[in-house]
Amino acid sequence: MTWQKVVRNVKFIGRYLSYHNNTLRVIIPSFVGGFFLGANTNFKMPQCAVNLKRIITPVAVAMEKDENIKRNSFNFIADAVDIAAPSVVRIEVVGKHWNGQISSVGSGFFVTEDGIVLSNAHVVKNASLKGSPTVKVHLSTGETYNGVIIDVDPVSDLAAIKLVNEKQKKFPYLKLGGSVRAGEWVAALGSPLQLSNTVTAGIVSSLHRPGGELGLYNQDMGYIQTDAAINVGNSGGPLINLEGEVIGINCFTVQQAAGISFAIPANVVKEFLKEALNKDSSNTMKKKFYIGISMLSLSPDILLALQQRNPEFNSLKGGVLVARINSGSPSERSGLLIGDVILSINGKPVKSSRDVYNEVCRGANLVMQIQRKSQTLSINVSPEISSNL
């Protein structure tokens, strides 16, 4: 082979390398180096071969950079939890009708350094509103304080509790966040099944889910829907963003469909907190008829998810799923169960939870036709007037 051919080959290899990845940049130069080692050692390397060296990017350098990236740079959930976890508490309520025993449990978090805790109204429903310390608040440090309920709003399902803080201790508290987007990473903190300091993660599945679709008192509130796991005892805990800010308060989940949970948005929480800080422990509430359930309208997507998990509902065309039943409520006493699907009330077909809500507001006795697994049953439920919870 003439040296002119060698030069032409090297130029071709140079052009080839400029369009291919780093792996080829390593393999081909090894071949080229071997070629020149077998040639006349008195030969002076052409300029194009020098340029060839210049375009080579050693893989070892790239690998070294990758190795220098620390694992904690990817732990964005853990970083947010580090910020929020010290402010999260477990709440136990000793009901006056329960012989001093724990009647309900849930979660909460500090929003002021002097000991104001926010939670759900349904978490403290059995507690006294007269200033008696029937609430026990367990901190992440292992400390326990008595708490006094200073405000409750059953419509938005929010409650404010003030710790009996005789030593004027300052507590770590969380900031209430602002905007949130669908698809954003979030973490839910709380004490599911009384397992304190539990963290689950997911994304924001949907924003502004109308309360009317869920059968809740607050028809106008737009709830945050998330696939972060929320279980019994998570109620009242914070739903946080990656900055460790509270974007919502966990309130309930749909047990029959995986990955569907809801939180009260931060803008509603801010308004409640503002009012709560201006009130004393006395609380007046507007009377409402209630039956003590949370519901979920069976949209086509939700119905399909329900049928995939429960084949006995394959023939179901629609209705309203009972997602939660309050202890001691008219619905519980009537025999209604979580997972029942309400098909009609007083002979009128039920297509959404708003249909149920409208019938409850009338205050008359409700004759419900429900589907429970493969059975169709009739249940009588009598709405009651609630002056508290």
**Catalytic choice (87, 107, 235, 353):** 235
d(CA 89, CA 137): 6
Please count the residues of the chain.
389
Kindly give the interhelix angle for 22-37 and 47-54, rounded to the nearest 10 degrees: 150
**Catalytic choice (122, 151, 156, 386):** 122
Our CA angle for 119, 120, 124, nearest 5°, is: 90
d(CA 52, CA 60): 18
Listed residue (156, 165, 78, 172) closest to 119, CA to CA: 156
Decide if 20 is catalytic: no
d(CA 313, CA 178): 40
Decide if 235 is catalytic: yes
d(CA 260, CA 355): 22
Report H helices in the chain: 3-17, 22-37, 47-54, 59-67, 76-84, 211-214, 266-276, 300-309, 330-334, 353-362
Q: What kind and span of H or E run contains 147? A: strand 144-153
Kindly give the interhelix angle for 22-37 and 59-67, rounded to the nearest 10 degrees: 140
Decide if 151 is catalytic: no
Report H helices in 75-163: 76-84
d(CA 144, CA 73): 35
DSSP 103-122: EEEEEEEESSTT-EEEE-GG
3-state secondary structure of 277: coil
**Catalytic choice (157, 329, 340, 353):** 157
Residue owning tokens 């149920």: 356
Catalytic residue numbers read 122, 157, 235
